[in-house]
Chains A and B, each alone.
Chain A
Amino acid sequence: MDSTTLIAIASIVTAGLTIALGSIGPALGEGRAVATALSSLAQQPDAATTITRTLFVGLAMIESIAIYCFVVSMILIFANPFWNHIIAHAAGK
């Protein structure tokens, strides 16, 4: 197996694993956050605006972890420096 194939396999597998494993944690965290927010809304409906706003800010922070994994995955597929280098090397030959 030459290095081009190896780099391609590693990039594709890693990209898939990154986004697959990277979505589990944020999804679980967001589920817990929303569940807690719903129960506090049920206990104190007066504080609805504060709770909702804090919930959205918290969800965005948790979501950004999944976004990091997504960006790494996109880089591996579409802007892979190792792939570009090996292709330029092979084309130069």
Chain B
Amino acid sequence: MHLSPDDIVFWQHGFLKLNATIAYTWGLMLVLAVGSKLVTRNLSTGLARSRWQNLLEIVVTAINGQIAEVGLRQPEKYLGFLGTLFLFVAMASLFTVVPGYEPPTGSLSTTAALAICVFVAVPLYGIEDRGVGGYLRAYLKPTFIMLPFNIISELSRTLALAVRLFGNMMSGTMILAILLTVTPFIFPIAMSALGLLTGMVQAYIFFILATVYIAAATRTRKTTTEVVAEPKPDAEAKHKSEGKVEPEPKPEAKFED
């Protein structure tokens, strides 16, 4: 039974295998890198932009906004790593519309590699922000008895990241394969659309979880009241500026009386 793109082997020599996972991963990397290079060749800073530049600006601004919303203070520092995570997983799922393609994230090797990247990145960003002592002291945070549990939670959430993405992607392709042998044309197409949706959601989940882990490691977490309070000053400022218009007619009405 075809569980993952690892089973499709294009070329083999001894223990070196070129399987579909590696081929599709490198194809994705090629498309992302060459596409971005082509789009950003003549960037314009004025109002007239090419549509591709507009698209990339939307994507980058949205990712930047999401990172800032989670609470990281300088989103640009983490934009490269986190943005790449999101874009890679999203593109890997999006290209399912191309016939004959299988998402490389449907193989446990790819998702484990991505999860290990996050596992390595969290201490790196934490040490860069807090210093080695500060970062290690965070493991003793509630009480020092929590030290083994904090370490176990680090390992288990890395495993959870890998298995979650793998399970979602693999189940999508497997359901499609099973349905194609059973039902006519329309139902597998509906399931393929559902697979696209879950692919996008899982890309966002992977990205937001990586962001949350990095945010937890870089500084003491903002309390939820602070996070919720941020939109309110804008709303209050709006109400104040609107309210300034209203009281003015009233004194005039009193004088008229």
In the complex, are the beta carbons of A60 and B163 less than 8 A apart?
no
- Smallest distance from the beta carbon of A59 to chain B beta carbons, Å? 9
In the complex, are the beta carbons of B166 and A71 less than 8 A apart?
yes
In the complex, are the beta carbons of B208 and A53 less than 8 A apart?
yes
CA distance A61 to B168 in the complex (A): 12
Q: Tell me which residues across on chain A come within 8 A of B204, comparing CB atoms.
A: 56
In the complex, are the beta carbons of A70 and B209 less than 8 A apart?
no
Q: Tell me which residues across on chain A come within 8 A of B174, comparing CB atoms.
A: 74
CB contact list, A42-73 vs B, under 8 A = 46-47, 50, 53, 56-57, 60-61, 63-64, 67-68, 70-71
In the complex, are the beta carbons of A57 and B208 less than 8 A apart?
yes
Picked from A60, A77, A78, the residue with its CB within 8 Å of the CB of B205 is A60
CB contact list, B1-27 vs A, under 8 A = 1, 3
- Smallest distance from the beta carbon of A18 to chain B beta carbons, Å? 13
Q: Say what secondary structure dominates the interface of chain A.
A: helix
In the complex, are the beta carbons of A68 and B201 less than 8 A apart?
no
Interface residue? B160 (CB, 8 A): yes
Q: Which residue, of B1, B163, B164, B171, has the highest number of chain A Cβ atoms within 10 A?
A: B164
Inter-chain contact total with CB atoms closer than 8 Å: 47
In the complex, are the beta carbons of B3 and A78 less than 8 A apart?
yes
In the complex, are the beta carbons of B228 and A78 less than 8 A apart?
no
Q: Tell me which residues across on chain A come within 8 A of B212, comparing CB atoms.
A: 57
Q: Tell me which residues across on chain B come within 8 A of A57, comparing CB atoms.
A: 205, 208-209, 212
Interface residue? B202 (CB, 8 A): yes
CA distance A47 to B234 in the complex (A): 13
Closest to B230 in A: A50
Q: Tell me which residues across on chain A come within 8 A of B164, comparing CB atoms.
A: 60, 63-64, 67
- Smallest distance from the beta carbon of A29 to chain B beta carbons, Å? 15
Interface residue? B133 (CB, 8 A): no
Interface residue? B231 (CB, 8 A): yes
Q: Tell me which residues across on chain A come within 8 A of B182, comparing CB atoms.
A: none
In the complex, are the beta carbons of A46 and B160 less than 8 A apart?
no
In the complex, are the beta carbons of A78 and B1 less than 8 A apart?
yes
In the complex, are the beta carbons of B168 and A67 less than 8 A apart?
yes
Picked from A50, A70, A78, the residue with its CB within 8 Å of the CB of B227 is A50
Q: Tell me which residues across on chain B come within 8 A of A77, comparing CB atoms.
A: 1
In the complex, are the beta carbons of A68 and B167 less than 8 A apart?
yes
CA distance A64 to B209 in the complex (A): 13
Closest to A77 in B: B1
Q: Tell me which residues across on chain A come within 8 A of B170, comparing CB atoms.
A: 71, 74
CB contact list, B133-192 vs A, under 8 A = 160, 163-164, 166-168, 170-171, 174
Closest to A64 in B: B164
Q: Tell me which residues across on chain B come within 8 A of A27, comparing CB atoms.
A: none
Closest to B206 in A: A60
Q: Which residue, of A60, A61, A64, has the highest number of chain B Cβ atoms within 10 A?
A: A60
Closest to A44 in B: B228
Q: Tell me which residues across on chain B come within 8 A of A74, comparing CB atoms.
A: 3, 170, 174
6 contacts between A and B (CB under 8 A): A57-B208, A60-B209, A64-B160, A71-B167, A74-B3, A74-B170
Residues of A within 8 A of B (CB): 46-47, 50, 53, 56-57, 60-61, 63-64, 67-68, 70-71, 74, 77-79
Q: Return the 7 tightest CB-CB contacts between A and B, nearest first.
A: A67-B167, A60-B205, A64-B164, A78-B1, A71-B167, A64-B160, A57-B208
